[in-house]
Structure 1
Amino acid sequence: MAQDLNRIKVVLVEKNKTGKWLAEQLGVSACTVSRWASNTAQPNLSTLNDTARLLKVDPRDLLTGKE
């Protein structure tokens, strides 16, 4: 069972943005963003920070954590 490590999919929905839009902004393939959104792969920290900037959220908002 895969563990959810990021909330990219949730934040994209909250911000009314698509994975395709994010891929175009970051210069990566839509397939790559899809893998991040499904938690089968994870972006590196630099890309995570760029993603947070584009979505206008704190990078910590893109990560799943125990509260």
Structure 2
Amino acid sequence: MTNLNRLKVVLAEQKKTGKWLAERLGKDTSTVSKWCSNKMQPSLEMLMRIAEILDVDIRELIITTKQ
């Protein structure tokens, strides 16, 4: 399985940047960059805020562990 990052994919699909998301969340751009590169993961609460801002179901930001 490839090391796919759903947040990065959704941002690209919506033609939005990590900087754009960081501004809306009030977070540093380096934090969002770490989320997009799998160096760090956002908390569940933050993931819910991200889903709301991107107007997607939170499940779209999570890679399924079951087939």
> When the two structures are superposed, what TM-score results if normalisation uses the length of structure 1?
0.88
Q: Structure 2: state its 5+ residue gaps.
A: none
Would you say the 8 A contact 1:4–1:64 is kept in 2?
A: no
Superposed displacement of residue 52, structure 1:
0.4
1:14 correspondence with 2:13: yes
The runs of at least 4 aligned residues of structure 1 exceeding 2 Å deviation read 3-6
1:53 correspondence with 2:52: yes
After superposition, give the CA deviation of every residue in 1:9-62 in whole Å (9 maximum; x if it has no partner).
000001111000000000000000000000110000111000001111000100
Q: Structure 1: state its 5+ residue gaps.
A: none
- Count of residues in Structure 1 that have an aligned counterpart in Structure 2: 65
> RMSD of the TM alignment (CA)?
1.6
Which residue number corresponds to residue 37 of structure 2? 38
Q: What percent of counterpart residues are identical?
A: 52
Separation (CA, whole Å) in 1 of partners of 2:50 and 2:64: 18
Separation (CA, whole Å) in 1 of partners of 2:3 and 2:48: 18
1:28 correspondence with 2:27: yes
CA pair 6-48 structure 1, distance change in 2 beyond 3 A: farther
> When the two structures are superposed, what TM-score results if normalisation uses the length of structure 2?
0.88
Superposed displacement of residue 4, structure 1:
4.1
